[in-house]
Each structure stands twice: as C-alpha cells, then as structure tokens.
Structure 1
Amino acid sequence: MSPEHTAQADDSKPGMEIAVVGGGLSGTLTAYLLGRAGHSVTLIDRHRSFPRTFRSEKLGPGEIETLRRFGLSAAVAARAACFDETLNMRRGSVVDRTHARHFGILYHDLVEAIRAEMPAAVRFVQGQVREIKAGARRQRITIVGHEEVTARLLVLATGTGDTLRRDLGITRRIIRPRQSVAFGFNLRPTGTDGFRHAALTWYGERVSDGIDYLSLFPVAGAMRANLFAYRDRGDSWIRALRERPKDTLAAAFPGLIGTMGDFEIEGPVDSWITDIAVADNYRQDGVVLVGDAFQTTCPATGTGVTRLLTDVERLCTSYIPRWTSHNVMTAADLAAFYDDAEKRRMDAYALETADFRRRLTIGTEMEWRLRRYCHFALRRVLNGIDRLSPALVGKLRQIKDAQSGQNVPSAV
C-alpha cells in the first residue's frame, strides 16, 4: 500500500471516489476489489500493520474459491497452512472424514496478505476517525491529526464498534445475547513424531458440557485449536480452561490425547464472546455497512467469513458499478444492496445456522435429542459406505442437510 494520503474531490478520475472506514477483513477486501475496478479508494484504519486479533482462523473450500475469483487465493495460500483431510470424532469414535482443501491462517495474517496485494488506486490513511458527516452528495470523514477526507460513497466496515455508527444515527440491536464463546490457543506436540493427524474436529461429549466442538488444524508454524461452547462468561469451566487448559481439555474430550498424541498448550488462551446483533436505521444517504458492522455471526457455525465475502462481493461487483454514474447517493439508491436476494439469503442462513448449532449441541427437548442422535448416526452410516460409492454418499448428504435444516460448511 502507498503511504498515507487524503482523498480529495477529482471528478476527472474514472470510477467513483469511495472511502472505506475499517481495515479488517471486510474493509480491506472492499478496498482491494474497488481499487482493482478502477475506483479512487481511501482506506482508513488506526493500524498500518493489522494487530494480532482472535477472529476467523480457518477458510473452507467455498471461501477459498471466492478468494480465487478475487485473485487472492495464491497470496493467502502463501501465508497459510493448507490441509486436505479432517478427521471428525465424537465419544471416542470416528464420525466421518472431511476431504476438502482448507487454509489455516490467523486473522491478522489473512488481512496482511490481502493488504500486500492492494492496487495502487487505494490510498491508506492511518488514523482514528473522530467524526463522520454523511449526505446524498458528499461524505466527510474527520481524522485525528489529518486533513478531512471526502468521498461520494462511504463504506463502513468497523465491525462491532458502535461509536461511528451512532454519529449517523445507526443503532445496534442485540437479538441473541451471549450466543456463544470461542477460544483459541496453540498446541505443541510433546513426542518426537508430532501429531498423528493433520486436522481434527472433536464434537462435544455431553450436552451438559455445552461444547459444540473442538477444531485442531495447522497454521503457519503451529497447531491451532479453536473451541466453541455455549456457556456464560462467569462459568467456572471457562476459568478452568484459561488456568489449566490441558487438564480441562483432557476431561472434556476423553481419548483426545490417544487420538492426536500428547501435547502442551503454548501461549495464552484467547477468548471471544459473541452477541448476535443487527444494525437498525442503516438505510442512510451516502453510507453502506458491510460485514459485522451490519450483522454479527456466531463463530461456531463457520459462516462468518462466507457471509462477509457475500456482502463484499455483491456490493463491489453488482451495485457500486451501477452507482458510478449517480451524482447523488440517496438511501433509496443504496437500498438495492441491502435488499439483494443473495445477501438476504446469506444473512438469514447465518442466523438459522446459529440457532441450529446451539439447539443441536445443548437442546434437551425430545425433538433435539432425536435430531442429535440421527445427525451423528447418519454421518457414521454415510462414512461407512463412502468408499463404496462416493457419488451416492454426496447425494445422501445433500438430502440429510436439506432435511435437518443444516448446511454447515465443511470446516465444521
């Protein structure tokens, strides 16, 4: 990326002047795609190098394919650990195996990989946004220690931060408080032979544990663990996981060490409690919201990056090209993005899948006990006949997912 600049009005330039506030994954991808399309883009973020943050750390085949369309899969793969098989376990026995290309990559490495590919048309301003004034004709962004940035369109990609949205009268409505808690940490093998499997997913043993699954997968230089559970912040089990992570894992997943090999926990245990929230009063002149700024996603579902990519791709490839000739950016103009059928389907799917995963994991009603039993029993049956007819198994899995209401990405 070029040194920091401020964007000034220049109607002689092709495309459109666009300011993107927020340099995480959604903002960085938006700036990249718009810059590649020839728009004059200013990306504004507090950090020149994105800091270490515990967020999405694994990409599945659908997400990799989207990055390929964006021209980014090779750049991301160069910083990721690639793996093609995941062993899926529950209660000490094999459920099935996932055969598909995945990337294990820490969130900040993913963002930096994309920033390194940023087109020259994108200018970067490092600083904290103090105020935003939006309107149909011009958007004005005041940044501490910098000149004002102006643009015809503002893309707000600030994640769960509320301050700037409040400037615009956009509110955040929590629809599922404390939906889930996620943990991330590194494992180091104690034996000389390393780990016995490239990647492993181990589903919760008991409903009372409130554990959806533990996912072990490689990232550059380490074996990473992501654990997803439905527990309260003050739960003593959470405190035990932070203080005695190996013992707590061994108790929650009997047979884990025997399956994967002995290990030690390296470094801190990161955690992330998710409230599922949606934006209200977001139909504004001159401003569009993408990613978590519009709707947050339960990380246990594995749909967060897919939903983000859908937002960014639909906005940058379907709608901004239509708006290039517009002299004004009214709320009515921008509503087409929010009303896009593919975006709405993905937003709804993320919410439905979050509800399904939670109920499948901790539901005690007879319906969910039966669905849980059938879900894993059918996966085991399909795994048993997989070698006989992979094509038939693929069809049966599609039927199973349609009937259960679940189409969880293969990363889960």
Structure 2
Amino acid sequence: MARIYHDALIYLSLTAVEPPATFLRRMPEVNDTVPKTTCCIIGGGPAGIMLGFLLARAGVSVTVLEKHKDFFRDFRGDTIHPSTLELLYELGLLDKFLEIRHSRITQASACIGDYAVTIADFSHLPTHAKYIALMPQWDFLDFIASEAAKLPTFTLRMGWEATDLLQNGGVTRGVIARTPDGTVKIPATLTVGCDGRHATSREAGHLPLIESGVPIDVLWLRLPRHDSDPENGLGYVNYARLMVLINRIDYFQVAYIIEKGTFPQLQQAGLKDFQESMARIVPFLADRVGEIDSWDKVKLLTVQVNRLTHWSSPGLLCIGDAAHAMSPVGGIGINIALQDAVATANILSEALYFNSLTPHHLRQVQQYREKAVRRTQAFQVFAHRILNRVLHSSGPVHAPLILRFVTHIPGFRHVMARLIGMGIQPEHIAAHRHAAHPGAG
C-alpha cells in the first residue's frame, strides 16, 4: 500500500504542467526553453536512436539529443547481429537496410596457435538473415535516424549536449542542454539516458553503479585488407596476445587485446615491437603492419563491465551502456543496447502516449531486462578470465585438448551461434493500436 501511495504522489508530480517558481530560480542561467516533449533521450547511439524511432512510431513525442554534429566515430562497434537484423525485418526495413554496403559473417572462427576452429555457424538460426552484418556504426545510425525523421513526432538535435537534469523534489522533469546557440531547458515527462558508460544522465540522477573488475583493454586500429584475405570473423590467439579482425571490405578494423593498463609500456617499447607483434600473431598481415607508423593511429578503448543497481528514478530511466557497460567480448554490446531499446518501447509506449507513466513502469524495464544483461555479463567475465590466462602466457599458444573436444561436439556451433547471434533474451517489435500513422502496427 505504501508503494502504491508513493507512486501515486510521484505520478501527480510527473504530470504537473509547470514546476514551482522556486525550482526555476535555482536552475543555471539558460537562454531559452524549448517546447515540452513527452520523452527526451540523451545520446544518439544505437539505443537512443532506436528507442526514439520506436516511440515516435507509436505516436509518442520524442526528442533525441546527440552531443556530436554527426555519427562519425571510428571506435564504435560494427556488428549487426541476426537478432538486430530480425528487428529490422519486423519493422519492414531489412531489404532497404541491406542495400547499404556491408560484409557478412556466416561463421565465427578462431585461430589458437596453429589450430583453426569454427566457433559458431549462423546458418541454422531461426531468423530471416542468418549472418552477422558488418558495417560502420555511423551507417546504421544514419539509416535509423533517416527513417525516424519521416515520423512527425520525432526530433533529433545534433550538436546538443546534455549537461544536467531538470529536477524538483526527486523527480526528473527534463534536461538542460548546451547547444550551438546557448544553453536551453527541455521539459519532458520522461528522460532516458542512452549516453554510454560515462553517462551524464546516470551521474546527475545519482544512480549507484557496481563495477566488475576487467583485466583487459583494447587497442583499436585499421589495416588494409586484400581480396585474398579471410572473409569470416576471425580471432587470432598467440604469443600472449589476441587480435580480432573485422572485415570492412576495404580494410580490417583490428581489435588488439592487451592487459589492462599496459598501453604505456607498449608505447615505450616502440612501434617496431608493436608491428612485429601483430605480424607474429597474424602472419598474413606482415606486409602491411608498417601502415601503423604513428601511435595516433592506435586508439585505446578502456574496457568496463558494470551495472546500475537501479536503472531508474522518478522521471528518469537509463538503458544500454548507461545502465550496464558491456565488454567487447562477442561484439554484442550494440545488440544488447538495441534489445533494451525495444523492450523499453514495448513497455512504456502506451503509458507515454496516454500520459499515464508511473515509476512502476520504469522499474518494469529493469525487471524485464536485468536477468539477460547479468547473465551476458557473467559470460563475458568468464571469458575475461580465459583471456587473462592467455595474456600471462609465454611463447606460442597451443589449443587445449578440452577445446578441441568441445568444438567437435554435435550442435556446439549451433548453440554458440544462437548465443552470439541472438543473445539470451531476444526482443521483438510490438504493435501499438494507438499509433497515429501508417505502418505502426
């Protein structure tokens, strides 16, 4: 009864038209207040753009804030897994999406020392696209944003950076944002933080975070690709190192795994040692590692695995990396974020459309998604332990007998394909009877 009474009070405050004047007086100086939106989304990454699209598709007024002026960031994930391609199919967009230049992974393979093994075979998945599509993430974001822009209730603000939350009495009422024309207030019934692992939304909302120790970091670089090079996803493990090659058709996006905190030592050892290390791990790259002739061509990605104890507070919800940073293991971070976005839209669209949102709705998102997220993170933490052993080995690596045995068990590749390609809890697009435009279901 106490919880119901509390939620009822919060609901009344969420639906109030204007905050008290005393609240407005203590806000930072602003130049303007933009019209109120039903949902303000902080962050134009995969979760933010997809959530904005799905809410607008359901007739909800939504504004997405992206602090950069474009989506072009080379350190973002490239893997569009079968679960995400299935979402695009359900939206009627798959064929159009696949017109964008991309490559495909039909099998995921690894070379452990001199032992080559297929880890996953996606050809048996119960999806329309039985492969992982590889394309720069900015192409994916541009595509979803362009489709969302066709909807009358969708607004994307590029170059608008959220700097704080509008709050009163423990309730988030919108966002304060820095824009090219000055600072503005954006009143909103609901604010959703999709602003990544260094989330302003999470910090401003004082949501507590639990960190899991991670023993690895990733160096991100690109090397030329030749037509004769392997096409499928390949990880190479040898000499206390792991490299993953992502086929971007004209070049490889390379993830070079290192022990956490050791990048300065690598730099001190020099570029020549780094080049020789890459050539030793992946011999067919020996004729092109010289392309990395400056440390400016190598980006350090600090790996984190963490999660919020509470994804929400009244008027505020965090999803994707803002709620639970994922490791690059399996390349599944983007797809987990997209699954969060779909579940959020499915759960909240009706309440937002009819202005009946309560904190209970926000807690439902975490209750529904948290188990899948925590299980996925547990799998990644287990993988980190194995990687840590590799990074502390010496000399050539030899595939253990248990691995040789397990990978030949009938059905192993199909099980791994389902885990990697679809995840523990794949989501599906819900139809919304109240949507006010064609094609919303």
State TM-score, norm by structure 1.
0.77
5+ long unaligned stretches in structure 2: 1-31, 123-130, 391-396, 424-441
Correspondent of 1:42 among 57, 63, 69: 63
Q: Quick one: distance in 2 between partners of 1:81 and 1:245?
A: 29
Could you tell me which residue of structure 2 aligns to residue 63 of structure 1?
84
Instruction: Give the drift of 1:51.
Output: 3.4
CA distance 1:323–1:129, shift in 2 (3 Å): closer
Aligned partner of 1:131 in structure 2 is: 164
Write the distance in 2 (CA, Å) between the matches of 1:333 and 1:346: 19
Question: Residue 20 of structure 1 contacts residue 42 of structure 1 at CA under 8 Å; is this kept in 2?
Answer: yes
Partners of 1:293 and 1:138 in 2: CA distance: 16
CA contact (8 A) 1:180 1:300 kept: no
- The whole-number CA distance in structure 2 between the counterparts of 1:314 and 1:241 is 47
Structure 1 contact 131–142 (Cα < 8 Å) conserved = yes
Alignment partner, residue 218 of structure 2: 182
Change (3 A) 1:197 1:140: closer
Alignment-derived partner of residue 24 in structure 1? 45
- What do residues 157-180 of structure 1 show as CA deviations (whole Å, max 9, x unaligned)? 11122444332222333232x442
CA contact (8 A) 2:195 2:321 kept: yes
Single out whichever of 152-161 and 302-311 deviates more from structure 2: 302-311
Cα shift at 1:27: 1.0
Instruction: Determine the C-alpha separation between the residues in 2 that align with 1:334 and 1:410.
Output: 25
2:405 and 2:264 map into 1 onto residues whose CA distance is 31
Q: CA deviation at 1:26?
A: 1.4
SS at the partner of 1:65? helix
Alpha-carbon distance, 1:281 to partner: 4.8
Aligned with 1:359: secondary structure?
Answer: helix
1:283-331 alpha-carbon deviations (Å, 9 max, x no partner)? 310111110100100112322123212211100123332453344x443
The worse-fitting range, judged by mean Cα deviation, of 303-312 and 277-286 is 277-286
The Cα shift of 1:17 comes to 1.4
Match of 1:93 among 109, 115, 126: 115
Is the 8 Å Cα contact of residues 35 and 41 (structure 1) preserved in structure 2? yes
Match of 1:112 in 2: 142
Does the residue aligned with 2:238 lie in a helix, a strand or coil?
A: coil
Structure 1 unpaired stretches of 5+: 10-15, 383-392
Moved more, 86-95 or 41-50: 86-95
1:272 and 2:272 are equivalent in the alignment: no
Over 3 Å counting, the alpha-carbon distance change for 1:239 and 1:188 in structure 2 is: farther
Query: Are the counterparts in 2 of residues 104 and 220 from structure 1 also a CA contact under 8 Å?
Result: no
> Residues 235 and 286 (structure 1 numbering): CA distance in 2 closer, same or farther, change over 3 Å?
same
Distance in structure 2 (CA, Å) of the matches to 1:204 and 1:156: 37
Q: Distance in 1 between matches of 2:188 and 2:80?
A: 33
2: CA distance, partners of 1:301 / 1:109: 21
Q: Which has the higher contact order (CA 8 A, sep 6+)?
A: 2
Any idea what SS the aligned residue of 2:85 has? helix
Q: Alpha carbon RMSD of aligned pairs, Å?
A: 3.4
Identity of aligned residues (%): 16
User: SS of 1:195's equivalent?
Assistant: coil
Distance, in Å, in 1 between the alignment partners of 2:381 and 2:60 is 39
8 Å CA contact retained: 1:185, 1:265: no
CA contact (8 A) 2:58 2:349 kept: no
Q: One-letter code of the match for 1:20?
A: I
Aligned equivalents of 1:132, 1:162: Cα separation in 2: 12
- The correspondence of residues 3-402 of structure 1 with structure 2, limited to 5 A, is 8-9=35-36, 17-86=38-107, 87-96=109-118, 98-100=120-122, 101-118=131-148, 119-120=150-151, 121-125=153-157, 126-134=159-167, 139-144=173-178, 145-176=182-213, 178-189=214-225, 194-205=227-238, 209=240, 211=241, 213-219=242-248, 221-234=250-263, 236-237=265-266, 244-251=273-280, 253=281, 256-258=282-284, 262-264=287-289, 266=291, 268-327=297-356, 329-340=357-368, 343-363=369-389, 373-379=401-407, 381=408, 393-394=410-411, 396-397=412-413
Shift of 1:54: 0.6
**For 1:309, what is the secondary structure of its paired residue?**
helix
Query: In the comparison of the two structures, how many residue pairs are matched?
Result: 366
Evaluate the alpha carbon distance shift between residue 356 and residue 66 of structure 1 in structure 2; reply closer, same or farther with a 3 A threshold: farther
How big is each residue's C-alpha offset from its partner over 1:151-206, in whole Å with a ceiling of 9 and x where there is no partner? Answer: 21111111122444332222333232x442122222225xxx63332135134225
Amino acid of the residue matched to residue 220 of structure 2? G
Query: CA contact under 8 A between 1:156 and 1:289: conserved in structure 2?
Result: yes
